[in-house]
Amino acid sequence: MFRTSRTARSPSFSAVSGEHEYARFAAGLGDPWRVAALPHPGFAPDEPLPATAAALAALHAQQVLELAEGAPVLLIGRSAGGWVAHAVAAALERLGAQAAGIALLDTPPSGNDPRGYALMVDGLLHREDRFITIDDHRLTAMAAYARLFREWTPEPISAPTLLVRAAAPHGPGEEPIASWRLPHETVEVPGDHFTMLEEHASTTARTVGRWARGLRGGPPSAVAQPVTSKMP
């Protein structure tokens, strides 16, 4: 039996990342999805940063369990946020639970890929005025999260994984950044690393929704995506 579909969202660690990244995506999912955001600690004043990637994953895993209320959950991570989504899925499995699935949106293969950080900086330089004001807290947190995941590699999990790759490279001569070393399915959507969640967000959302509806046992009831700002 499934309740209203839910998701949990995880954007990248950029100082300009946050819930706004998924506004169009969430609208594109439509009913009956219930979309929730899980805040990464440390991006606001007086918030402590996690000591390790494992500590962050354990925190978000508990939040997902509370959000789901026993119903299946789809984890979604954009760019480096895909690393968090995968780490949360692994933490859930250690607790005896399991995500219904994970959708990685143009996620690099690991934290030691320098192209991911180059994209993060590019987004910071070109999107500050459009989305959010950068301050010292956000810049410090961005650097701290980059260090946390620099040596991180994904561990095998049971949850099915979808890698959603942007069709267009970001910048002339650039190679696609998205790849994944563990078992997964791959789909390609219009746009580049950024526009796949901007003007092409509805197409990206429909693609993820179709995959989720085809998961064994039926569609998940939640989507959870950790974000870099507090929930309202």
Catalytic residue numbers read 79-80, 106, 193
pLDDT mean by block of 10 residues, the chain; 232 residues: 48 54 79 76 85 94 87 87 93 94 92 67 57 70 85 93 91 77 97 90 93 75 48 29
H helix runs in 95-171, sequence order: 114-131, 136-148
Q: What's the chain's Rg over C-alpha atoms?
A: 16
Extract the tokens encoding 10: 């995880």
DSSP 8-state assignment for residue 21: G
Residue ranges of domains in the chain, CATH in brackets: 6-227 (3.40.50.1820)
The model's pTM is 0.83
**Residues 5 and 211: beta-carbon distance below 8 Å:** no
pLDDT, residue 9, reads 56
SS3 (DSSP) at 73: strand
pLDDT, residue 4, reads 37
